[in-house]
Structure 1
Amino acid sequence: MGFLYSVVGFLIAIGILVAVHEFGHFWVARKLGVKVLKFSIGFGKPLWKTVGGVDKTEYVVAAIPLGGYVKMLGEGDPDAPVLESEKHRAFDNQPIWKRSLIILAGPGINFLFAILLFSILGLQTVERLDPVFGQAPLASAVSLAGVKEGDRLVSVDGREVDFLAHQQLYIMNRVLQGSDIEMQVLSGGSVRSVTIETQGIPIYNINPGSMMYQLGIVPPSPPITSEIHHVAPESPAESAGIRQGDVVVSISGQPVESWRELSTLISPNPGKELEIIVQRSGLNKTFLITPKATPFNGGEIGVIGVRPKPTSYSPDQLVSVSKGPWASFMAGLDQTWQMSTVTLRMLGKMLTLQVSHKNVNGPIMIANVAGQAIQVGLDYYIHILAVISISLGVMNLLPIPILDGGHLLVHLIEGVAGKKAALNFFAVGQRVGIFILIGFMGLAFYNDIFKLLN
């Protein structure tokens, strides 16, 4: 079933996003008086086609769903000569500004579509984590700046914070830039300003979740009891006789009421025998367990191979977030901008080998994520659609001749050096562009398969 969800989720997502992208080219071309001959979603053998409109445009859904195209009159096609009466409607005969607008319309509508989807999601009332700091790692930037557990995050560089992860994309942009962040923090009844230094944050394997943890922007832990939910096979706990459902009462004479206390008493004692008392079926049982030494952050901690019972955040740890239409639109606009700039910066850092190539995902991982999103719910699927739409817009604006950005570069060269120079550049650049795209897709497929196998 997971495979089926992935296929269906992928086909729906790609179908919608390709249709949106190509519609941008199609609509602007028509509005600017250019004749459109064909509108195709997909490549290869047509699965469905029809002809419609005054221009008898051919509309096609083809077999290979990894893209699409809009074919316009006079796009340098020697097999489709332009009649004298229609020369004014040929794409190649349009001024540079018209051709550029038609090319820009594809990526442009991808960004507009993302803004629309984010705006729709923003209209809903949702529960998010209250912007209160949990216990930050000791060496994190937040901890070093003096922020304590229970302090409240008010704003980031003057940007208001509604929930803990509200400005996550903005913060990621600042980390990728290596720029310090000014936070307003409510602590002890008064608001103070703290500077968070980002220079030491490793970015090679960066992702939003790990970045927030490394900075120390972590939520308070949900109230987790000391009940054991899982015992790892062949672990010290299993060898000693600990079972699922046991509740840890004390460790070496120290009372235990929460999982944090359990962890605090076990972690610093690798290789040291501990007396652990658990409650089982109303009776106390005593076990002697030696935590296994496990590498962690350049040192060692003790683990016994147990996991807590899953729990949810309490209502007082959550905040209800809702926005009106204008605020939702502005939030959607900002989210689209932040995500676009993060994507561009990540690509730039990859080229300079500062960020891992493993961040490049291809169709297999997109299908996997889309399949999971369908199972989680419509809201998450819409969010994923918006994210992929932004990626599609950004990728198409790259100055590679076979992409929209490459065509815009050719138009720029034409405006500066003339049409002949632009055609010469395009002839060479197209071959290079195909080579780059094949290499990029090869990397994406390699990463997808590696992630699936591991």
Structure 2
Amino acid sequence: MASILSSVFFFIIAIGVLITVHEFGHFWVARKVGVKVIRFSVGFGKPLFSWRGANDETEYVIAMLPLGGYVQMLDEREGDVAPEELDRAFNRQSLASRTAIVAAGPIFNFILAIAIYWLILMIGVSGVKPIVGDINEASIAAAGGFQRGDVITHVGDTKTVTWGMAAMALLDHSLGDEMVEVRVLEDGVVSKTRQLDFSTPGLELERKNLLGSLGINIMRPQIPARIGEVTPGGAADKAGIMGGDLLLTVDGELVGDWGKWVHVVRTNAENRLQVELERDGRVMMVDLRPARLSTKEGEIGRIGATVQYPKELFEAFNAVERYGFFAAFNAAVVKTWDMSLLTLRMLGNMVIGKVSVDNLSGPISIAQYAGSSAGMGFVAFAGFLALISISLGVLNLLPIPMLDGGHLFYYLIEWIKGSVVSEATQMMGQRVGIALLALVMIVAFYNDIDRLVG
């Protein structure tokens, strides 16, 4: 229950920030070109809070449904306008001014993403070094010469400090039928070039498990089964297990490493386990009964204890992407551009059927991502915000009526033919846009439900 509330809370925070920035773009540019703004609303439906600033003609509103927002401007198409204010009506503005106002929303989303990436790239984004584990036989990674222990340094021209960067670069290249060169360090020192041929006949890629589809496994070190922190009142605490304890055997069998210990705990909910452990050089036995926890994967055991990572192991596998002030800004602009193009390419490949629509996520999945990223800390949540802000910017620029891109498309037609697109055409386009957006939302909601129950 707590995780659901956390996800909902951070989802509302994320959507609130993104919508406010998007609508502020429209609002700010409208004010700058002299258009009267009647209302600035974050959310739809019944207003929860509303106010006006001193000498401010705009009403600011926070509404009940936080899944959108709008900026209401003075417009003759929506009501009578006093003669003395006609020059402040949106529909009376020049084509350039109207274009700037409409485009400002998505542009501000991209600006927000750049600002976030700039900040977190100066703070430093931690990740796992891209060290290759076992290579699956008869895979394109095996055909390309990949070996266990390779450290991926570049995918194409993209530098890859962490697995996250490597996976994103591989995803980008996987959308094209091309050969990509991957530079690696062999034995940690010798630079070599491997190849991945995405034009291989019959190649089927699962984007949710791209590395696995390529035949690449992440190097996973053996972590000693040593207890880190113990949750007060949990099963481990009740059994007398303490931080720093090294787990030796369970029911007479060697534990070996943390992965095996986790498997034993998860598969023995409410079963009594005899655990042999070492504490300060002394060996002792404790009785442990893992608590039962219900998850979407089923019921599992849980003891309320974390692992203690050896410092040398952390240093060997941890990597940080960090830049100075100016270099971070340049990297943030490049990252925002690359992510925007990747989003656009993914959408394009969905349209032609090359990428499954299963990759679409609705509000439920986004809320889960918001909660999980917030649980990982500020940098992870900020990165999530930047990514969603880019997605919002790209989606709003698509030439679909009802979206900003649809209005911009009408303005392009107006510029070409020299007159405003007829109201009848716009209304027809609006109905088509509503139908398309409804279809996308239905698919996204279906995917969300399928992930929950699947």
Q: TM-score range by the shorter chain?
A: 0.7 to 0.9
Partner of 2:37 in structure 1? 36
CA deviations on 1:168-208 (whole Å, 9 max, x unpaired) are: 323211111222212223336543333321124424x413x
CA distance in 1, matches of 2:160, 2:375: 30
Change (3 A) 1:245 1:322: farther
Divergent runs of 4+, >6 A: 257-260, 279-282
Query: Residues 179 and 198 of structure 1 are in contact (CA less than 8 Å); yes or no, is this contact kept in structure 2?
Result: yes
- Where do residues 2-81 of structure 1 align in structure 2 (5 Å cutoff)? 2-52=3-53, 54=55, 56-74=57-75, 76-77=77-78, 79=79, 81=80
CA distance in 2, matches of 1:75, 1:375: 48
Moved more, 398-407 or 144-153: 144-153
CA distance in 1, matches of 2:335, 2:368: 23
Change (3 A) 1:244 1:156: farther
1:202 aligned to 201, 204, 218, which one? 204
Superposed displacement of residue 325, structure 1: 1.6
Which residues of structure 1 form unaligned runs of 5+? 228-241, 249-256, 261-278, 283-308
**Is 1:123 paired with 2:122?**
yes
CA distance in 1, matches of 2:166, 2:277: 47
Amino acid at match of 1:159: T
Q: TM-score, normalised by structure 1?
A: 0.77
Query: Residues 36 and 55 of structure 1 are in contact (CA less than 8 Å); yes or no, is this contact kept in structure 2?
Result: no
Amino acid at match of 1:70: V
Partner of 2:154 in structure 1? 155
How many positions carry a matched residue from both structures?
A: 385
- Where do residues 131-150 of structure 1 align in structure 2 (5 Å cutoff)? 131-150=130-149
Amino acid at match of 2:394: V
Query: Residues 122 and 324 of structure 2 are in contact (CA less than 8 Å); yes or no, is this contact kept in structure 1?
Result: yes
**Is 1:368 paired with 2:345?**
no
Superposed displacement of residue 216, structure 1: 4.4
SS of residue matched to 2:164 = coil
CA distance in 1, matches of 2:324, 2:277: 52
Change (3 A) 1:144 1:408: same
Amino acid at match of 2:150: D
Superposed displacement of residue 374, structure 1: 2.8
Superposed displacement of residue 380, structure 1: 1.9
Moved more, 95-104 or 149-158: 149-158
Amino acid at match of 1:22: E
Query: Residues 222 and 311 of structure 1 are in contact (CA less than 8 Å); yes or no, is this contact kept in structure 2?
Result: no
Amino acid at match of 1:339: M
- Where do residues 218-367 of structure 1 align in structure 2 (5 Å cutoff)? 218-224=217-223, 246-247=253-254, 313-367=313-367
CA deviations on 1:399-439 (whole Å, 9 max, x unpaired) are: 11111000001111111124354534212101111111122
Query: Residues 169 and 335 of structure 1 are in contact (CA less than 8 Å); yes or no, is this contact kept in structure 2?
Result: no
Query: Residues 361 and 444 of structure 2 are in contact (CA less than 8 Å); yes or no, is this contact kept in structure 1?
Result: yes
Superposed displacement of residue 159, structure 1: 2.8
CA distance in 1, matches of 2:370, 2:101: 30
Change (3 A) 1:159 1:3: closer
CA distance in 1, matches of 2:52, 2:398: 33
Query: Residues 155 and 185 of structure 1 are in contact (CA less than 8 Å); yes or no, is this contact kept in structure 2?
Result: yes
Superposed displacement of residue 281, structure 1: 9.1
Moved more, 57-66 or 358-367: 358-367
Change (3 A) 1:149 1:341: same
Amino acid at match of 2:14: A
